[in-house]
Structure 1
């Protein structure tokens, strides 16, 4: 089983926000005006908003559930009105909100000045000054109370120094829409916020270290590996983490290889997300020049998911000079050859043993504790998957809710063959090889896995194949690798995929390679050996 570094703890890779927005307001001033309008527009846009409709502002303490709602919200929208500072409740709430900005995954605070000036809030003047005269009289002989008053002043000053919105005494619909648009861009409401990925933390740390966010240059980082290892999952996690904290403008382009015949459409999506343009802003000829002209001073984050051809990169991020300082491009691929000379590559690794077991259990048993009778067979199944996340997920899901007899039957079948769902996923890399490269791959899968490179290469050359070049292509496409002992190796599932392809040829009346004694016997008995085109392994 794989013992390399992980792709999968049951920790969340992005802060889990229960709410997108926490509305902080003085109820009697704003509930039926600006607060009500904002709440209605935000919820209509699908932005999850917490508004305390049972607000009783006469006491000195805030209920525990309200404090929890503050911590569980990604953005706090604080509406300062004329009588805001008369409410000890509102002031305590503000102190708690501002404290949350100091956390590691600190929330965003947006002040809205409704009928008041930011300077009055910042300096506690006018109505705010009157309110504080009363507070200080109340706590005049109370040292602890006066400390609380000072915390209120500090929180008001800090909040008023933030970038916000100014409203007159009245609600302007265009101002409301501007706030909602701004909040919508700040709230990364992707389902990945609550999506738990086993062991991804280590992977994220490594990718982030390659991004070097502390350096104000422009760079591209490739996430490379074979199908099913979780390249897109890692890219999505990084995107959600950085786009909400480090970048104002970001775009995630999915499944690029599936859209290779409409690259200008992807250019339009990219420009729409980064510049706010309409999605039909460019045609095929002017896309690259427009990106180079309009994005060169913007710090952006772009994720290009599943690139399999250099042209795709040329259309979407052909020159790092297109983007402003501090920009980062993340690209996922199965083909390392696409990287530039100075690009950085992160090779996605299979799961650690403990993480592989946890991932399998997550899908096989869900929230239930597995019975003791499943312990040994679970370890066997997980071992067979060799740390491949896709294999573990598919296998775990297929066995969920089944009895031990079905599990044993599945394990027997697994030892003979892999799940066709996994194989078809992995087969994509094979289908994109040139004919000679396919032949080299099948020979390695059927005969030469684990053999020393120096012994295999002359055999391949004797068959008329460009062995060195072909092998380098297979390595770049994550189909094979050279071990520390200079042996040609591949993942078990990749080998299974190769043998599966050869077995498919049997249905067409011909199998190019034989490696099992019973298959050789069948060919000899039926006198079909003349149709065999490549090789037989005598290993019995």
Structure 2
């Protein structure tokens, strides 16, 4: 799934603040320091600035002392009147004391309209300010702190950027940002810094050229994780950036395809959300035209065909010199064919790294609980150095007792050396039934869905979705990125295999269907019932709606149906086709539904959510039939041909809802005349082009 070009790195470790600003308020608070503070915040650098403007007494406050101790970087802005404030000098002494402790504190001096020599020797205008304190008992400590601070590396405004403050601030922020350790959103990354350095070093080998490099290796070895870490580490150096995830899966999707990925790259890099790509050739033309205008960082993740690279990074001439393209793939030959500058084999974890990762996942620390040292080493020996396998095993053993560890080891011993999916399945087996079913639904259908919509779909089918998804996340079986559900392709492969393995040659006996060819064959079969089928997703399947309706007649236990396909402009009439939906349906979404109404035979007494966007439906039920819809909670008829929804007539008992009913409409009116509303709330989502009228009489 596409990702935002915004960096997801977070500059923090055990420190509360990245930067503490020490400054003389009357000199710099409302000008230079204010601008510096906001520049640091824009770079996601957590900065402490004392805005209270209180400099009372001889001692600094406990709050400031704590802030100094909890800050990694201390930026000291020396100005003409800095030394006139005993408050500032006390601050400086405390800051320099922190340098003597065995922590990772750093001091960065800035000389703002003062010379470093004057600060060091307390001479010039700076010396005049300091002279006020010559008789103070602590003056000696202050002098020592000034001398020590000025000996450290920093920047002087007078000799930098020709004295231009805006450019000077940019350089200061860049200095600080480059020295802050990058801690990524995934706190369990092990051995990543060395791998990042190798890749970054390779990228900088060709400073004045367009550089394309490849990261290759088997599934689960950490190619995407490394690419993401490098992206987060250097993306601020570029004028535009884009991280394109799951190229293989997205480019093969009938809904997305390569043109959507080209569109994503253009939107990310140019920061324009109005860009529309109508086809792959059109996308190539647009990229050739616009990409050379700025230096970009582009990551193409999980590429498996040369055509994908030709569409997304066809030639170096598409990009400005200095641009960088990182490609991850399992197929090294794709990189060779595209003539990338260099190829890096992503290495497996060393034994030491693997043990550290397992312990972090299982114990939350690299120090094992008493009695588990040997057990953790044995578990790691079966993971073959694959970070994904280690993460899944460790997460599944989190808070587990010793007998569970021993049982897991016994299971691992039975799995062949090449049985990666079987090792991953051990975590699945440890789930309760509710979580297992949710895991399979994500693997087969819900991967890439917005989490909120996935929760609705799962809950409509009777699952405890929020709890289940939380369990899966804790066990590292799924992740959430940009509000959408994600699952590693190895885990997705495992889940889909679990669904299919008992009847590999008989898809009509599978609980979930998502492969168009199999769905088409099953729908076209007139023989027998398909009682096992619970969920069907048809994306871009070209098939006559009449065949779909006839096939659904054999799926009596179908609870979930998601159809997204295109049809001709023909209006299909129910008397021609006899539409049919199983009464067991709980979640029904059919974009561009081709019929004028729902079939009269469909009682919908279990239906929780109904989506019919862009449909040709003109009335909900054939002949305005009245239905009892006790369970309906969500109704989405956006951009359909239905112009009037009379709840009293069309939904006789739908009005007895005890929860929120969400209705998304566009261009038609809702009439609740005579309806016996019980705790009913309407949430109307207005479209940009349409206004809705709600008639309440």
Counterpart position of 2:334: 338
Pick closer, same or farther for the CA change 1:194–1:56 going to 2, 3 Å: farther
Match of 2:250 in 1: 259
Counterpart Cα distance in 2 of 1:295 and 1:381: 48
Cα distance in 1 for residues equivalent to 2:315 and 2:105: 34
Specify the alignment match of 1:365 in structure 2: 363
Give me the whole-angstrom Cα distance separating, in 2, the residues matched to 1:92 and 1:250.
44
Tell me the equivalent position of 1:237.
229
CA contact (8 A) 1:14 1:241 kept: no
1:208 paired residue number: 200
Q: Tell me the CA shift for residue 222 of structure 1.
A: 0.8
Which residue of 277, 284, 297 corresponds with 1:283? 277
Is 2:306 aligned against 1:310?
yes
Q: Does 1:394 align with 2:392?
A: yes
**Cα 1:189/1:200, change in 2 over 3 Å:** closer
Hey, what's the Cα distance between the residues in 1 that align with 2:67 and 2:244? 38
Whether the 8 Å contact between 1:306 and 1:331 is mirrored in structure 2 is yes
* Counterparts of 2:223 and 2:10, CA distance in 1: 15
Asked if the contact 1:249–1:274 (Cα under 8 Å) also holds between the matched residues in 2, the reply is yes
Q: How far 1:266 moved relative to its partner?
A: 3.9
Give the Å deviation of 1:411: 2.2
Q: Secondary structure at the match of 1:360?
A: helix
Deviation at 1:386, TM superposition (A): 1.4
Corresponding position of 2:265: 270
Shift in Å, 1:201: 3.4
Higher helix share: 1
Query: Would you say 1:409 and 2:402 are equivalent positions?
Result: no
Q: Is the 8 A contact 2:11 2:181 kept in 1?
A: no
Deviation at 1:25, TM superposition (A): 4.2
For residues 361-387 of structure 1, what are the alpha-carbon distances to aligned partners after superposition, in whole Å with 9 as ceiling and x for unaligned?
221222385455434433332211111
**Which string of whole-angstrom CA distances, capped at 9 and with x for unpartnered residues, describes residues 393-449 of structure 1?**
111111222222222222222324423388999xx9xxxxxxxxxxxxxxxxxxxxx
**Structure 1 Cα separation of the partners of residues 181 and 58 of structure 2:** 34
Gaps of 5+ in 2: 1-8, 416-421, 429-438, 444-489, 507-697
Answer yes or no: is the 8 Å Cα contact 1:14–1:237 preserved in 2.
Answer: no
Structure 1 unpaired stretches of 5+: 1-11, 168-177, 429-493, 511-540
- TM norm structure 2: 0.45
The number of aligned residues is 400
1:228 aligned residue: 220
Secondary structure of the residue that 2:214 maps to in structure 1? Answer: strand
Distance 2:242 2:145 in 1: 44
Instruction: State the distance in 1 between where 2:314 and 2:353 align.
Output: 38
| 8 Å Cα contact 1:13/1:200 also seen in 2 | no
Name the CA shift for 1:308/1:18 in 2 (closer, same or farther; >3 Å): farther
C-alpha distance in 1 between matches for 2:282 and 2:57: 62
Q: How far apart are residue 311 of structure 1 and its match?
A: 3.2
- Specify whether residues 251 and 39 from structure 1 end up closer, same or farther in structure 2 by C-alpha distance, changes over 3 A only: same
Task: Call closer, same or farther: CA 1:207–1:47 in 2, change over 3 Å.
Answer: closer
Determine the structure 2 residue equivalent to 1:327: 323
Q: Distance in 1 between matches of 2:51 and 2:228?
A: 36
Deviates more, 1:266-275 or 1:36-45: 36-45
Alpha-carbon spacing, 1:91–1:271, altered in 2? closer, same or farther (3 Å): farther
Cα contact 2:235–2:241 (8 A) shared by 1? yes
Q: Does residue 1:71 correspond to 2:72, yes or no?
A: yes
Choose which of 348, 351, 354 in structure 1 pairs with 2:349. Answer: 351
**2:10, 2:182 within 8 Å by CA — same for their partners in 1?**
no
Q: How well do the aligned residues superpose, as a CA RMSD in angstroms? A: 5.5
- 1:220 aligns to what SS in structure 2? strand
Aligned residue number for residue 379 of structure 1: 377
SS at match of 2:302: strand
Structure 1 residues 201 and 305: CA distance shift in structure 2, 3 A: same
- Asked which structure has the greater RCO (Cα within 8 Å, sep 6+), the reply is 1
Pick closer, same or farther for the CA change 1:20–1:157 going to 2, 3 Å: closer
Residues 251 and 270 in structure 1, CA contact (< 8 A), matched pair in contact too: yes
Q: String of CA shifts for 1:254-286, please: whole Å, max 9, x gaps.
A: 3333432254444444344444x3222353465
TM-score, normalised with respect to structure 1? 0.56
